[in-house]
Amino acid sequence: MKDTDRLRVASLQYWLRPVKTFEEFAQQSTDWVRNAADYKAELVVFPEYFTLQLFSLDDPDKSLPELVRAVAKYKDRYVELFLGLAKKYKLTIVAGSIPAEGAKNLIYNESHVFSASGGHGVQQKLRMTRFEKEDFIVSTASPGKLRIFEAEWGRFAVAICYDVEFPEIVRAAALEGAQLIVVPSCTDDRQGYYRVRHCAQARAIENQVFVVQSSTAGGLSRYPAASLNYGQAAILTPSDYGFSRDGLLLEGIANTETMIVGELDLKVLKESRSRGTVLPLHDAQTSEVMSRQVEIVQL
């Protein structure tokens, strides 16, 4: 019988390198899923925009919006690839994210989730960075729903990179029973990476959830916006008895091609929510309630 109190997760530091065909991209992805399965992972996480590796199949002189739209045309093949991998290796895959064309010819940033049983769900990015809006011309999610995914071991949500910087998004997921927040991220420098990382740690503490972050590394030197990546995969925990020291279960060596594998104790998480040293999820008030209690004091 499967132990639903423990979950083994694998998180990638995915190396962006030039590829000559979609099949080459598919092989790199397949190799990592197979490696995760070899380590008995039940969940494997790819980073945001790792699919920009497919820029290298196109002309580097094209504009960024043109390159992004070109990658979006591979969405069906991407879905077919990862749906097959999840079934073959009998695990759940959060397949990073891919640009996707939606209504009115708009482009969205979508994270696709695949299960061993053939389940397939989509979480669109809810908040766009300035670069995405102004340079990629990627649109804010419409209708902008936060989805909670139900697995046999429990509930989880996907907060794509910048989304984890907004406390209300993760709080909503935790209040709906999410025990894990998956954060596929793509950042080009240390400052950007640590904005995401520090916010991910804060979300783990204030919502008493596990957070798994996956990051891009490497780069495509001929393609703007994919030329530099700063990344480090991490598995973060609440900061309390029963969890890892400093709220860090595991992290990779920054800016290398690797995968980290860790085991989450969901029973300890459940107990911490009712018997922890502090109970931030239970004791929280909404921003709306708190705003009515603000008083300005003139000094």
Task: Choose the catalytic residue: 42, 110, 125, 165.
Answer: 125
Does 161 qualify as catalytic in the annotation? yes
32 three-class SS = helix
CA distance 285 to 48: 31
Residue 42: name the closest of 111, 92, 84 by CA. 92
- CA R_g for the chain: 19
Task: Choose the catalytic residue: 42, 48, 110, 132.
Answer: 48
C-alpha distances in Å from residue 168, one per residue of 203, 223, 238, 259, 287: 10, 35, 17, 30, 8
Does 20 qualify as catalytic in the annotation? no
Nearest 5°: the CA angle 115, 162, 97 is 35
Task: Choose the catalytic residue: 132, 161, 186, 199.
Answer: 161
CA distance 70 to 168: 33
For residue 246, give the DSSP letter: G
Does 125 qualify as catalytic in the annotation? yes
Residue 207: name the closest of 234, 185, 236, 232 by CA. 236
Neighbours of 77 (CB within 10 A): 14
Query: So which residues are the catalytic ones?
Result: 48, 125, 161
